[in-house]
Amino acid sequence: MGFLGSTKANGMLTTFLSLSGSKSFLMEPIFVRCVSGFLHGVLLLVLFCSWVRGRNNGFGSVTERLKDKRGFGFKSVLFCSLVLSLLNLVLTSLSVFYWYESDWLDEEQLVSLLMFLLPTVSWGVLSLSLHRCSDYEMRKSPLLLRIWLVFYLAVSCYSLVVVDKSQVLLLVCDIVSFSGALLLCYVAFFKKARGGNNSNGVLEEPLLNGDSTVGGGVGSDEATPYSRAGLLSLMTFSWMGPLIEIGNKKPLDLEDVPQLHDSDSVVGLAPKFRTMLESSSDGGGVTTFKLMKALFFSSQWEILVTAFFAFIYTVASYVGPALIDTFVQYLNGRRQYNNEGYVLVITFFLAKLVECLSQRHWFFRLQKVGIRMRSSLVAMIYEKGLTLSCHSKQGRTSGEIINLMTVDAERIGNFSWYMHDPWMVLLQVGLALWILYRNLGLASVAALIATILVMLVNFPFGRMQERFQEKLMEAKDNRMKSTSEILRNMRILKLQGWEMKFLSKIFDLRKSEEGWLKKYVYNSAVISFVFWGAPTLVSVSTFGACILLGIPLESGKILSALATFRILQEPIYNLPDTISMVVQTKVSLDRIASYLCLDNLQPDVVETLPQGGSDIAVEVRNSTLSWDVSSESPTLKDISFKVLPGMKVAVCGTVGSGKSSLLSSILGEVPKVSGSLKVCGTKAYVAQSPWIQSGKIEDNILFGKPMERERYEKVLEACSLSKDLEILSFGDQTVIGERGINLSGGQKQRIQIARALYQDADIYLFDDPFSAVDAHTGSHLFKEVLLGLLSSKSVIYVTHQVEFLPAADLILVMKDGRISQAGKYNDILSSGTDFMELIGAHQEALAVVSSVDASSVSEKPALGGQEDAIGLDGKQESQDVKNDKPDTEETKRQLVQEEEREKGSVALDVYWKYITLAYGGALVPFIVLAQVLFQLLQIGSNYWMAWATPVSKDVEAPVNISTLMIVYVALAVGSSVCILVRATLLVTAGYKTATELFHKMHHCIFRSPMSFFDSTPSGRIMNRASTDQSAVDLDIPYQFGSVAITVIQLIGIIGVMSQVSWLVFLVFIPVVAASIWYQRYYIAAARELSRLVGVCKAPLIQHFAETISGSTTIRSFNQESRFRGDNMRLSDGYSRPKFYSAGAMEWLCFRLDMLSSLTFAFSLVFLISIPTGVIDPSLAGLAVTYGLSLNTLQAWLIWTLCNLENKIISVERILQYASVPSEPPLVIESNRPEQSWPSRGQVDIHDLQVRYAPHMPLVLRGITCTFKGGLRTGIVGRTGSGKSTLIQTLFRIVEPSAGEIKIDGVNILNIGLHDLRLRLSIIPQDPTMFEGTVRSNLDPLEEYTDDQIWEALDKCQLGDEVRKKDLKLDSSVSENGENWSMGQRQLVCLGRVLLKRSKILVLDEATASVDTATDNLIQKTLREHFSDCTVITIAHRISSVIDSDMVLLLSNGIIEEYDSPVKLLENKSSSFSKLVAEYTARSSSSFD
């Protein structure tokens, strides 16, 4: 009866007053209720008056200061009002109930009812008014409101401090009222309105200003949703609400995702981390410990805060188990004081609340720390990549370095989840032992020993796991290295018909990786078995010890112990994961530390003087330099020369003589042994192998400089790029594919030259840039660039074209790493033999065309006034020949599209495919059955212990002690066996599925047409082969297992709780419905955020890969800081969706935790409300024991479901590439050509029409001609005329749209691709070598003997070079053949065709990278060994085609001329005749 109102005051202060004889009415609760009611009546009156006056739609003047809809003020007040209204509503309901109990006679209850009703209504009206006026702008808080709040605070404080505390609900009400009053006063008096009149809300700004590019925008000082969120918003993760809402309305794009604040952006983190690392290194190398120390101190505040939350969570989680025995005794009728049940319920509930809040913020901040660590490491790895010396680079391939960023840095970021586990295990075990000691006395020692034993058992497994992890990473590195190299060179593999051989190489590497993966996952299964069985072992040991020590087993104590074991399960379950993660992280830290210790470029190789600081541009004195400092024979010996400002210096010499190394030494790339190098002014460098960034052509040319239109146009004109840009659909806005895949060799080289010209440097270094362009373009470039725009600059150029030498002020002739001759052209012509050899070779080449009358040269450019005489066609994009190109949106489509991203929910088909891939899904039912049996046996064993032990000492046990333990141990052993079966079957299914997916995707990628590789940056494929495959290997099986396990556990808990009270379903069903609604609401945004993480990773990898391959060029232009900035922008672009994805997850988990805590609280209230004896206290205690983990499991289920959906995207992405359309069959068994085919080598082309895609125009427009067997045919034509397309069609790299090609009467469209490609030979324009040995490069299919290989090497002039090496044919070739010169690589390609001896040989400008003498040798070799073969040559050097039997001149995709050179030369008006005349004139003259 007196629950709410009439209890007399008996507080300490009241007792004191009564002792002094002055008992005061002011101490009575009824007085305070009356004052509070009066105050709320005043508030209601003010609200009513405000409404009557119609101000601001309901509450204008009163709520003006409180309104800030998206800020702390408004939301806090609204939340506070609702809570106070609901709390008073509960108290009103109870007053009605107790008034009814008193037969409506108790007047105090009536007063209480009215005093609670007034606050209920006034706070409710306030909430409604706030909600309705939320869209109005505010001025300032009125005085009336502030006075009212002061009174309200005073009354709340008085009530809390002075009035009787014997009623728990009144105490709770007073605490909430006082907290609310404090908050409202803070908002009204101190909180400043945000954003003035423009306050559109925290989230709007970054959402509207988000950068739409991938990775757009870096960290911002401006407020972000997280940094501007108020206390309540931070606590409840409400700051994520607007983003999740947007995600529900439409699929999220990167521009919808707000920026990161500076504290979380790599822009702010990287410098801090670098400083920490440098200060801890103290001049020594980077060690693993120093790296760890720097990582810790760069985020120490966040790490300490997470440690605090972890501590609070751990303590709160043990409150439940500590109180279970008390709760069981309460239900058994043993009460210690009045309302003990309510105190217990509130304590349970508050502990759950604290546990939930601390866990959510602990997890979120941990992920923040992880993102920071990963960003800092990626920045350091990238920076190191920019400064690595060449020697260090040879030891680490780009694939390995990329792995450091994609796998190792990522893993260290993920380690943040586990960083507190080691000390938390000690705390959790300590708390568990304390609870056990309270309940079971000395038997807790047995629990400690058992726990320690279980942990010790793990150490050998942990060491094995570390070894397996290391080996797995090594195997993965090797595979990724090969994959990277193969993807770069896929075109040559397709042309040679080697792709399946190289696929089998990838499969072999994967097989080695799978071996370690198998050991790793089965070892994980054993660890899983040990630790899932651990709590059972601990409980059996503890209860056994109780029996031995004679400690009585009571159900309350047993249940408390079981609840403790269930919580202790978590650290013990997580311990194997923690140890495994510590091991993996240690391996990753070791790898990164060893990488950061690699040698940088020597900073003192070149002494750089400021512009105008010297009258000499370049000075080299007695310098000896070597790529490998430890080598006995240095690369360059005794080099000395001077270059004055404005001088032109030519460098020439035979293949491998050290020309490129000389330029590299001036750039400071080659380590110096002795001597001095001085450079005065800025440098620009054009590499021999073009380095082009993926992106717009304009961006490649500007290369970080601002646009100056006039200079830009001059540069384009000088580099003959204007015509090319007209041909391209998007002009200079055309997006270049990876490594310039959609440009010809000549176009790439000219863009490189344009980039250098636009920089307006003082010194220009050209490494044979004219070899990749045709004769006319070469001379145009030389005149316009070297003698035109650069006439006043210092230029050092390497060249094989002798005709460019007379214009030089100084010629350096290189031989065997020395300058054998130096001087002007005429001076050195007579002073030595080396230069004479080069000149002689050039004269020999000219002699072939000496019959041509030079006087007939036309003044106008050849080939119908086009700038380019002979150039390679530009493949896909440059095929848009302007004559018949309809300018529609459909035609205007960039080659490289944004990465395809699935939208909406992941299709069920993806899940089904994953589940059924291994053995048709046969193992799945057994995995589920094993887990169900485990759960039943676990519940059974706990139920048995609760039922078979007495509630208290005075009750007799239903079974004897031996039966109790035998049954319990039997059930425990059974459950452990089920766990072993489940763990083994799960990893078996996961391993098999990962293997199947890998093989499917790689087989499909290798069989896809070349157009797929042209339009797909390798970063996207690499991302799937590394990150996504890692997820499939190591994560997804456990995610599936986790979902199944959690569902089964949850069903078990609800089953146990419903046994005690079926009424729990009344709350559980709506709570589950609400949980599902929240999960569906959340998943739309979370799924897209997860996909964005995948999509934003590829550009980061690609940019990194491009930087590593072009680091020399980047350094030469001093562009390191810009590239660092780009890397940071992309890194933040990847971090943003990760950060908000973590926030979204915690937003959901917080709400689910709250709902499940309410379910648990309802169950407890029900249990204390029913009379004693109605329910068995032991079973009720069992329900509470299981209910304690209800909120954790319910949140964990939703979390694992969401995580699974996020992770399954990796499977979706792999399946995406496992369904790429394939090329035609490699072999058609029913239509295989004869073994001797082709015997004559005659090629008949009839009405051949080719287009690159259905939406693109024709490139070859009805070509008909015959290449007779045994004849040499030269193909010439301007850029974009279709020369390369014709060759690609011959190899069926591109399939014809119409027409046919027959070789010796066999239609090549009707036979398998390998039957065709393996019978043809090609020497491509870009010479390609693969990492391996000389033997594997010449004979990858292992078809020839060593003698045949030596014979081929001798024929291609490489035999002596290879014999010099220690390992001969087994000499190593580094990645991309970097340890061989460009010319030597070209000779290796010649060696391949000499081995193959096909009847048809195609030369795609095969001698572009060699000097004239070597070119003549190659031509001689080809004439000698392929005299009876059909040789088709695309050439830039007239001497390469002039002695052909036939010349085919293409223009705009049709044949302009096709006849023998002699006949074409007789006709002086023929385009070919004009071309030859111009070449002869140019070659005979000098450019002085």
Strand partners, 642: 619
Write the single-letter amino acid at 1185: T
Question: Is the confidence at residue 446, as pLDDT, over 80?
Answer: yes
Write the single-letter amino acid at 267: V
Strand partners, 797: 650, 766
pLDDT in tens, 485-533: 888 888 888 888 888 888 998 999 999 999 999 999 998 888 888 877 7
Question: Is the confidence at residue 707, as pLDDT, over 60?
Answer: yes
At residue 18, the pLDDT reads 38
The H or E element that residue 392 is part of is: helix 390-395
| Alpha carbons 1164 and 1189: distance in angstroms, whole number | 14
At residue 928, the pLDDT reads 92
| Alpha carbons 62 and 146: distance in angstroms, whole number | 10
Helices (H) and strands (E) in the chain, counts: 57, 24
| Alpha carbons 586 and 43: distance in angstroms, whole number | 63
The answer for residues whose C-beta is within 8 angstroms of residue 1386's C-beta and 6 or more apart is 1323, 1327, 1406, 1407, 1408, 1409, 1410
pLDDT in tens, 195-208: 333 333 322 222 22
> What is the share, in percent, of the chain residues with pLDDT greater than 70?
80
Question: Is the confidence at residue 7, as pLDDT, over 50?
Answer: no
At residue 925, the pLDDT reads 92
| Alpha carbons 1262 and 1453: distance in angstroms, whole number | 8
Q: How far is CA 887 from the centre of its chain?
A: 37
Judged by phi (left if over 0) then psi (alpha if -120 to 50, else beta), residue 880 lies in: beta
CA atoms within 13 A on the CB side of 235: 13
The answer for residues whose C-beta is within 8 angstroms of residue 829's C-beta and 6 or more apart is 835, 836, 839
At residue 516, the pLDDT reads 92
Mean pLDDT on 621-641 = 83
What is the DSSP track for 1436-1461? SSHHHHHTSSEEEEEETTEEEEEE-H
At residue 990, the pLDDT reads 92
Residues 120, 44 contacting (CB under 8 angstroms): no
At residue 679, the pLDDT reads 87
At residue 136, the pLDDT reads 39
1395 vs 858, more confident: 1395
481 vs 853, more confident: 481
Neighbour count for residue 1136 (Cβ, 10 Å): 31
Distances (CA, A) of 1170 to 272, 555, 936, 1363: 61, 20, 29, 96
Mean pLDDT on 560-585 = 75
User: Model confidence at 1367, in pLDDT bands (50, 70, 90)?
Assistant: confident
Nearest to 614 by CA among 756, 759, 760, 762: 762
| Alpha carbons 206 and 204: distance in angstroms, whole number | 6
Backbone dihedral angles phi then psi of residue 1459, each to the nearest 5 degrees: -165, -175
| Alpha carbons 17 and 713: distance in angstroms, whole number | 97
Place of tokens 């333990």: 965
Question: Is the confidence at residue 1284, as pLDDT, over 90?
Answer: no
Eight-state DSSP code of residue 752: H
Q: In whole numbers, what is the pLDDT of the chain averaged over residues?
A: 77
pLDDT in tens, 1228-1243: 888 888 888 888 888 9
At residue 538, the pLDDT reads 82
Quote the tokens at residue 232. Answer: 């309540």
Neighbour count for residue 978 (Cβ, 10 Å): 22
User: Model confidence at 993, in pLDDT bands (50, 70, 90)?
Assistant: very high
At residue 223, the pLDDT reads 63
Distances (CA, A) of 588 to 27, 374, 466, 983: 67, 12, 11, 27
SS3 assignment, position 818: strand
Question: Is the confidence at residue 969, as pLDDT, over 80?
Answer: yes
At residue 576, the pLDDT reads 67
Render the burial of 1216-1234: b for 16+ CB within 10 Å, e for the rest: bbbeeeebeebeeeeeebe
Mean pLDDT on 607-612 = 78
| Alpha carbons 110 and 99: distance in angstroms, whole number | 7
Strand partners, 911: none
At residue 997, the pLDDT reads 92
pLDDT in tens, 883-932: 333 333 334 455 555 555 555 567 788 889 898 888 888 899 999 999 99
475 vs 110, more confident: 475
Nearest to 1138 by CA among 24, 378, 609, 59: 378
215 vs 1030, more confident: 1030
At residue 1157, the pLDDT reads 82
Q: What pTM was computed for the model? A: 0.65
Residues 1432, 1401 contacting (CB under 8 angstroms): yes
Strands (E) across 1304-1380 are located at 1306-1307, 1320-1323, 1332-1333, 1372-1373
CB-based burial label for 1035 (10 Å; 0-12, 13-18, 19+)? middle
At residue 289, the pLDDT reads 85
Q: What angle do CA 1441, 1446, 1448 make, to 5 degrees?
A: 80
Nearest to 675 by CA among 727, 638, 717: 638
| Alpha carbons 1194 and 1207: distance in angstroms, whole number | 20
| Alpha carbons 659 and 670: distance in angstroms, whole number | 13
The answer for residues whose C-beta is within 8 angstroms of residue 98's C-beta and 6 or more apart is 1, 3, 4, 5, 106, 109
546 vs 1279, more confident: 546
What is the DSSP track for 912-953? HHHHHHTGGGTHHHHHHHHHHHHHHHHHHHHHHHHHHS-SST
Question: Is the confidence at residue 870, as pLDDT, over 80?
Answer: no
User: Model confidence at 51, in pLDDT bands (50, 70, 90)?
Assistant: low
Strand partners, 764: 684, 795
Quote the tokens at residue 397. Answer: 């391939």
Mean pLDDT on 1011-1022 = 81
Mean pLDDT on 1045-1049 = 88
